[in-house]
A and B are shown apart, each in its own frame.
Chain A
Amino acid sequence: MSARHPMDESIDAGRRQALRLAGGGLAVAFLWSAGAGPALAQMSARRQPDDAAAAAADGNPPFAPNAFVRVGADGSVRLVMPSAEMGQAIYTGIAMMLAEELGVGLDQVKVEHSPPNDALYGLPLLGGGQITGGSTSTRGQWQVLREAGAVAREMLVAAAAAQWHVDPASCSVARGVITHVPSGRTLGFGAVADAAGKLPQPANVTLKQRKDFTLIGKPLRRVDSADKVNGGTQFGIDVKVPGMKIAAVKTSPELAGTLGRVDETQARAIPGVIDVLKLGDAVAVVGEHYWAAQRGLESLVIEWTPGVNAHLDTETLVAGLRESSEKGPAIVGRKPKGEAAAGGKLVEASFVSPMLAHATMEPLNATVHVTAGHCEIWTGTQVPTRVVKEAARICGIPAEAVTVNNQYLGGGFGRRLETDQVEQAVAFAKQVTYPLKVIWSREEDIRHDRVRPLYFDRISATLGADGKPTSWKHRITSGTVLGRWMPGAMGKDGMDSDAIESAADLPYDMDNVLVEWVRHEMPPGLVVGWWRGVGPTHNLFIVESFIDELAHVAGKDPLAYRRSLMKPGSRALGVLDLAAEKIGWGSQPLPARVGRGIAVGSPFGSHVCAIVEAEVTPQGTVRLRKAVVAVDNGITVNPSSVQAQMQGGLLFGLSAAMYSGITLKNGVIEQSNFHDYRNLRINEVPEIEVYSVENDEAPGGIGEVGTAIAAPALANAIFAATGVRLRELPISRTQLAASPDALKRVASTGEHKEDVA
């Protein structure tokens, strides 16, 4: 599919390689080997120079053929997880990929967090860093992890075959036991672990055919479920270190403000308060427990020194983006092919997409112990090697003197791709001798989030006589996450590939497409970050809202219009048709003030269509009634995980569309907790059906796909219900209630007479 993509002409060899690794999907962002330089770390199925030390640190198991597999003399199998588990079930998926080829049951393995090590666990798709993000873990490790399991299996088999003096090809493996098929003799993994560890590694291994899979493709239970239902799972915030004290923190509410005078008299008088610690922009109170620390913090009399944002508000930011959108300079992400036909009907729109907080259920935290020449950290992170680097910098010690113990993450959503909170914890912990656990309150967590960027979009199209677009122009204006987070991955022309993902690579067959991005820097202190679904979450809202609008202008049914623009046989068309069929699109009239909205796209190397059915009350309240999601993510490792990610991902996106927006006043984030940063609750959740397309394509991403497709499906449903086209999120109830004319038109929607597929 990517072969006919105009952008391919400008994709260099590195990115082409990444695209191949990703299974040829259209995803362009988060595949950053292009800009990361030649010295890529390369995760390998075979032993690497760093492996001896890693295995030694892991108890020197008799058989450790690579960075992922450890077999004990007792036959126990431990699997080391290169990615971070934040709910997406990647530990289960990784364990299934390894175990499938290794020849053990999922119930026979234990999983463990990996140590930080780019050389062993770095993902080529993400420029070689040990990073969990961008829905890359499965697609980026599908090949290497199965191969790692196979390498281990072949060595174990070779050891058994040597002991029996038989041909290894006459042996089979299942559930941790090697069988010499002709004689029926068996040996457990433990019995040959030591011998296998002394054998040379196979240069080539044969991977199973899909038809021979015994684990992959089954809805196997998560490897982390059991402890998550009994309180046994240790998250970062649960870490206990002997002698540890606990700190509560307040950072300058004004982004970029600094700490002035602090009167700590009252705080010091509170029983259980131990220390008051200061940084340039923050103050911490240390207590025997969090309650003492928090009370101490509240008792401080703090003077903040205003920074450059003292008069900054959201309106100013939006006005700035709007101005940049008009003035440029614009970088071209996709060029039109040929000349657009003259004439036609022009349709134009502009959109504002809000800043968003992550609000992971586990507030940010880190436990840090700084001793002479050493720093040890316990935290849940999506970027363990970045934590090492930052801690080394802050402590002025070599990276080898930093130990990072990764933990289960109580939600990531991109927030834990940042190291700001850990950096702050290290800077505080450096000032004391005891281990220090620093916990951000929910208020700190939201007020100092690294928010999803604010976007301003202008989009237009010209429709020909048949109602189809003869030209399409989309100009995106925003700050850049990639430009700060991995500047080397920016295009040579300064393009941020994330900013245009799912805008440049449309599922529609149009030639005259111009997609541009204008970089607009955010003020100091307003740091924008990755937010679940990244670029596509924003772009799909614009593109799919606008396609819907074009259908309406053309007088066509939204499903039929999309179909008419898609290549027959394309995977995106496949999910569109599947979702439409399952919801019974056009088959029956809907009640008054109820509408259905479609959105389709191909983010993260997968293809997805969501159809949301929503009701809008005369008071402007939106009620979600039903959602159908069809997804084509190629080969599915675990169908239960795919269903869960589609359900949860969709709700994450719907929640944001309905309620979430971070706003600034006088340089301060106005929201602070779940009362004013609302989230979807169970009583608001619709029935959700998830359907998968079966095929033999390589796995695509799944963790962000549902989120990215949610908002446009809902916005289009609201249009169908009310005639109100949403140009800004979150949904404004007053906007919907204040449109009586729109509400009058409702009775005729749901009866699309023409072009119903």
Chain B
Amino acid sequence: MVTLRVNGEDRQADVPPDMPLLWVLRDVVGLTGTKFGCGIAQCGACTVHLDGQPVRSCQLPVSAVGDRAITTIEGIGSTAEGAKVQQAWLALDVVQCGYCQSGQIMSATALLARTPNPSDHDIDAAMAGNICRCGTYVRIREAIKQAATGEVHGLQVVVDGSTT
């Protein structure tokens, strides 16, 4: 039995120590926002934070988590950077199929937490581990800049009814 601190709550899980955190979160804890994409840390869909650091949960044995705090996509909006990133993602409508976006947002949030005003090079370095097959990369880049600076980057979508 392990105790995990997930999005600020303690969660008990009776799982083998070598079980990757991804499957503990998805199949045992029941948080399915974190995605399975490749199983070999090549696509970044499974990215979560341990004490704010991005990790690939598909390759992380649950026993290696220790007492570090786990943050998943379901909880990232309660951090300042996470909320900013989500707002920018919505302002630009970054998502398409959306499947990789949990991981993209987790990586982008971690980037902004350590580099508040990232350059293109910083963005490339932080985000190159996250594959998006829909090809939302152009808007991801714009949204990260918008989240960082508060200035508009790229086409802003309109929320219907917002002006009435």
Interface residues of A (CB under 8 A from B): 86-89, 105-108, 175, 215, 218-222, 224-235, 237-238, 240, 246, 271-272, 288-291, 359-363, 408-413, 439, 441-442, 639-640, 643-644, 647-652, 655, 673-675, 679-683, 685, 687-688
A228 & B136 in contact (Cβ 8 Å cutoff): no
Report chain B residues within 8 Å CB of A218: 158, 160
| Complex Cα spacing A743 to B40, Å | 38
Report chain A residues within 8 Å CB of B37: 361-363, 442, 674
Report chain B residues within 8 Å CB of A238: 26, 32
Contact code string B50-85 (vs A, CB < 8 Å = 1, else 0) = 000000000000000000000011101100000000
Q: How far is the CB of A553 from chain B (nearest CB, A)?
A: 34
| Complex Cα spacing A246 to B23, Å | 11
B157 & A291 in contact (Cβ 8 Å cutoff): no
Say yes or no: A673-B160 contact (C-beta < 8 A), given A410-B97, A644-B136, A648-B96.
no
Q: Which of B105, B136, B155, B162 contacts A640 (CB 8 A)?
A: B155
- Chain A CB within 8 A of B10 CB: no
A289 & B28 in contact (Cβ 8 Å cutoff): yes
Q: How far is the CB of A147 from chain B (nearest CB, A)?
A: 21
A235 & B99 in contact (Cβ 8 Å cutoff): yes
Interface of A is mostly: loop
Q: How far is the CB of B7 from chain A (nearest CB, A)?
A: 10
Report chain B residues within 8 Å CB of A639: 155
Report chain B residues within 8 Å CB of A235: 35, 98-99
B39 & A442 in contact (Cβ 8 Å cutoff): yes
Report chain A residues within 8 Å CB of B156: 219
Contact code string B118-144 (vs A, CB < 8 Å = 1, else 0) = 000001110111111111111111000
- Chain A CB within 8 A of B8 CB: no
Q: Which of A231, A363, A643, A679 contacts B33 (CB 8 A)?
A: A231
A106 & B95 in contact (Cβ 8 Å cutoff): no
- Chain A CB within 8 A of B159 CB: yes
Q: How far is the CB of B13 from chain A (nearest CB, A)?
A: 10
> Which residues B92-118 have CB closer than 8 A to chain A?
93-102, 105
B100 & A361 in contact (Cβ 8 Å cutoff): yes
| Complex Cα spacing A658 to B43, Å | 18
- Chain A CB within 8 A of B151 CB: no
Q: Which of B27, B101, B130, B131 contacts A229 (CB 8 A)?
A: B101
B95 & A225 in contact (Cβ 8 Å cutoff): yes
A229 & B95 in contact (Cβ 8 Å cutoff): yes
Q: Which of A87, A108, A240, A688 contacts B98 (CB 8 A)?
A: A87
The size bracket of the interface on B is: 35 or more
Interface residues of B (CB under 8 A from A): 15-16, 19-20, 23, 26-28, 30-40, 42-43, 45, 72-74, 76-77, 86, 89-90, 93-102, 105, 123-125, 127-141, 155-162, 164
Report chain A residues within 8 Å CB of B43: 361, 674
Say yes or no: A228-B101 contact (C-beta < 8 A), given A221-B160, A683-B128.
yes
Q: How far is the CB of A297 from chain B (nearest CB, A)?
A: 12
Q: For B43, B76, B102, B133, which residue has the most chain A Cβ atoms within 10 angstroms?
A: B133
A680 & B42 in contact (Cβ 8 Å cutoff): no
B135 & A650 in contact (Cβ 8 Å cutoff): yes
B33 & A411 in contact (Cβ 8 Å cutoff): no
A231 & B74 in contact (Cβ 8 Å cutoff): yes
Report chain B residues within 8 Å CB of A108: 160-161
| Complex Cα spacing A288 to B131, Å | 29
Report chain A residues within 8 Å CB of B102: 231
A-B pairs with beta carbons under 8 Å apart, 24 shown:
A86-B97, A87-B96, A88-B96, A107-B162, A108-B161, A221-B157, A221-B158, A221-B160, A225-B93, A227-B98, A228-B95, A229-B86, A231-B32, A231-B72, A231-B73, A238-B32, A289-B28, A291-B19, A361-B37, A647-B135, A679-B133, A680-B137, A682-B132, A683-B125
B135 & A655 in contact (Cβ 8 Å cutoff): yes
A230 & B160 in contact (Cβ 8 Å cutoff): no
A107 & B27 in contact (Cβ 8 Å cutoff): no
Report chain A residues within 8 Å CB of B133: 359-361, 411, 413, 652, 679
Report chain A residues within 8 Å CB of B123: 682
Report chain A residues within 8 Å CB of B19: 289, 291
B89 & A362 in contact (Cβ 8 Å cutoff): no
Say yes or no: A105-B39 contact (C-beta < 8 A), given A290-B26, A688-B138.
no
Say yes or no: A175-B164 contact (C-beta < 8 A), given A643-B155, A682-B140.
yes
